[in-house]
Structure 1
Amino acid sequence: MREDWSPEQIAGRVKRSYAPHSPMQISHEAIYRSLYIQSWGVLDRSLQKHLRTGRPIRRAVNNTTTGQWRSQIKDAVPIDDRPDEVEDRSVAGHWGGDLMIGSQQSQIATVVERSSRFTAVVHVASRHAASVTEGLCRGLAALPARMTRSLTWDRGMELAWHKDVAAATGMSVYFADPHSPWQRGTNENTNRWLRQYFPKKTTMNEWSQADLDQIAEKLNNRPRKILGYETPAERYEALLR
């Protein structure tokens, strides 16, 4: 838990690592109970701060993310024109991206590889297209060729210079429909995970690219239920072989 793994991730990883009847097996509910029922005295209360929400109780998280500066982007290729391999995740190298907004006009760019859920977090100076383009080109240009097939972005004017991104990275760029966050569900979900490190109404200006890389590394080394409790880093490395 000090590595910010959730109780479900811990229980799933244990299930993957030990025999079914091993005394090491534990359910995620047992971990939660040991955190919240302090009379058990099993886990230190300080571990609660490592839960994603930081709340003393669990509750459903509603997606309230809204985009900004929606407009018509010149020569934007719609999401419906993407190859089927992007939707079914059968081929690696297709990414989804968005801006995560903080206070004081601050922001970061997040990009997620759809097959592995491997995440990169990119520092951008502003929401202007020039800044976002520079950040994405810097963050994505060094990827292996097999991992630079496409990028799907929210329909915001911050990626109005999408042709420059395509030219620098070799990636085809597609745009989701306006007000349709479910079309980029993987990225939306990843951004919710990242809110543990970047709570709403806090500024992101204090984070350097080195800081963001460390946070991305931590997220990429947390096991995911959807990956059979492999980590995104493990799945990503397997795709590169």
Structure 2
Amino acid sequence: MILVEVLWVSVVRDRAGEVWRLWKEGFGQRGICRELGMSRESVVKVVGPAGGMVPAVRRRGPRALTLAEREEISRGLAAGEWLRQIARRLGRDVSVVSREINRNGGRRAYRAIEADQAAWQRARRPKVSKLAANPELAEQVGRLLKKRWSPQQIAAWLRCHYPEDPEMRVSHEVIYQSLYVQTKARLKEELTQYLRRKHRLRRPRAASARAANNAHGRGQIPDRVPLSARPPEAEDRAVPGHWEGDLILGSHGSAVATLAERHSRYVMLLALPHGKTAEAVRDALSASIHRLPRLLHHCLTAPDLWKSITWDQGKEMSQHTRFTIDTGIPVYFCPPGQPWLRGTNENTNGLIRDYLPKRTDLRPHTQTDLDTIAHELNTRPRHTLNWMTPSQALAQALGVATTP
């Protein structure tokens, strides 16, 4: 039984490289099983302990003895040669050969393969994680994770707030390793629930690329204006005031309207207590035009803040013509099945789902609740904004004071 277990572990280790190659290409565990003809348990044994994070390739040091040299030492000992003879033939110092033999059982017990495996094992010198050695740093990281900051945002915030203290800075990769990798776990496992993606394993970007976006028909909207007619200034995000919108759907027909400003990524969430009809969405959007200046604590006019809105093909915007007449704000529509043309809003909706999960009833969330969620998102630093917050970016672009 023990022999079978040893052989099984050996086979898994030998095929680990193939498993990681397919994992990096975006294959899931089941896909890897089909491609390599391995059991699910075998794949989990490779991917699980590393938390889905591809380990660095181990390489033999340039000055280390090779397996071929160890075999030469073993043959020399079996032939009764002096250590100086063996060392001279290998081009090594005699002390290197002497230490190699002594640390692996001496002349009589020395075996090349066992000595080489022992050397690989001894070469592992796991460093103490920075988060394990610095409780204050670990506490800061845990606090920001609970606020649903991403590890990359946390790493950037630490660099900004502790520029003179390298002990209070950590890379986002170390944070991920402390959450996912079993041998390096230094943060509580429950903190993974605050990450944007709740995967038990960290998936490579190629996994997302394998999921194709299928076109879907959602009915025809009369008199819709195509996205190609939108002003060029909206495309290059040069000025604020161009928004992207959509609905987040919940159970029991509930919904919340979301708006994301292209220049600053500023977010607004609109409650729809009367349903997701075209009339309800039109009224909520019209009300948001007057709410935004109050949220920014500044008296601004609609042309400063609202130049256009881009939507998908949802029927909830079938009254866009009346909305434009009432507010003077044009509405542009993406082609069917191309949501990536509203990429800012799509990404924002993914962030909002941390607070408003799928298949939950969204009706209990009041406008005050939604404003609180939006405030958290708008005061979270963003990589695409050079680590400014959306509130700061929008206020800077409009020349107003930063939102507190």
What is the TM-score of this pair, normalised by structure 1?
0.90
Q: What is the identity, as a one-letter code, of the residue corresponding to 1:52?
A: R
Is the Cα contact below 8 Å between 1:5 and 1:222 reproduced in 2? yes
Q: What is the identity, as a one-letter code, of the residue corresponding to 1:69?
A: R
Decide whether aligned partners of structure 1 residues 111 and 195 sit closer, same or farther in structure 2, where only a CA change above 3 A counts: same
Decide whether aligned partners of structure 1 residues 63 and 204 sit closer, same or farther in structure 2, where only a CA change above 3 A counts: farther
What is the TM-score of this pair, normalised by structure 2?
0.55
Is the Cα contact below 8 Å between 2:226 and 2:333 reproduced in 1? yes
Q: Any unmatched runs of 5+ in structure 2? A: 1-144, 293-299, 400-404
Match of 2:259 in 1: 111
Match of 2:388 in 1: 230
Match of 1:201 in 2: 359
Match of 2:378 in 1: 220
Distance across 1 between alignment mates of 2:212 and 2:271? 23
Equivalences, count: 240
Q: What is the identity, as a one-letter code, of the residue corresponding to 2:150?
A: S
Is the Cα contact below 8 Å between 2:244 and 2:262 reproduced in 1? yes
Distance across 2 between alignment mates of 1:203 and 1:16? 39
Q: Tell me the CA shift for residue 233 of structure 1.
A: 1.4
Single out whichever of 41-50 and 82-91 deviates more from structure 2. Answer: 41-50
Q: Tell me the CA shift for residue 5 of structure 1.
A: 0.4
Alpha carbon RMSD of aligned pairs, Å?
Answer: 2.2
Q: Secondary structure at 2:372's aligned position in 1?
A: helix
Single out whichever of 210-219 and 136-145 deviates more from structure 2. Answer: 136-145
1:30 aligns with 2:174: yes
Match of 1:56 in 2: 200
Match of 1:142 in 2: 291
Distance across 2 between alignment mates of 1:68 and 1:98? 16
Q: Tell me the CA shift for residue 116 of structure 1.
A: 0.4
Which structure 1 residue ranges, 4+ long, deviate > 6 Å from structure 2?
A: 63-68
Q: Tell me the CA shift for residue 169 of structure 1.
A: 3.4
Deviation readout 1:141-187 (Å, 9 max, x if unpaired): 33333111111111221111112322443322111111111111111
Within-5 A mapping of 1:35-46: 35-37=179-181, 42-46=186-190
Deviation readout 1:79-129 (Å, 9 max, x if unpaired): 100110000000110000011111211111100000000000111132210
Q: Tell me the CA shift for residue 19 of structure 1.
A: 3.0
1:122 aligns with 2:266: no
Structure ID, larger Rg? 2
Q: Secondary structure at 2:397's aligned position in 1?
A: helix
Is the Cα contact below 8 Å between 2:270 and 2:367 reproduced in 1? yes
Decide whether aligned partners of structure 1 residues 142 and 166 sit closer, same or farther in structure 2, where only a CA change above 3 A counts: farther
1:75 aligns with 2:233: no
Q: Which has the higher strand share?
A: 1
Distance across 2 between alignment mates of 1:212 and 1:64? 29
Decide whether aligned partners of structure 1 residues 136 and 63 sit closer, same or farther in structure 2, where only a CA change above 3 A counts: farther
Q: Which has the higher helix share?
A: 2
Structure with the larger RCO, 1 or 2 (CA within 8 Å, 6+ apart): 1
**2:311 paired residue among 153, 165, 169:** 153
Q: What is the identity, as a one-letter code, of the residue corresponding to 1:91?
A: V
Q: Tell me the CA shift for residue 25 of structure 1.
A: 2.1
Q: Secondary structure at 1:74's aligned position in 2?
A: coil
**2:340 paired residue among 179, 182, 185:** 182
**1:162 paired residue among 285, 308, 320:** 320
Deviation readout 1:35-61 (Å, 9 max, x if unpaired): 234665642333222111233322355
Q: Any unmatched runs of 5+ in structure 1? A: none
Distance across 2 between alignment mates of 1:195 and 1:137? 24
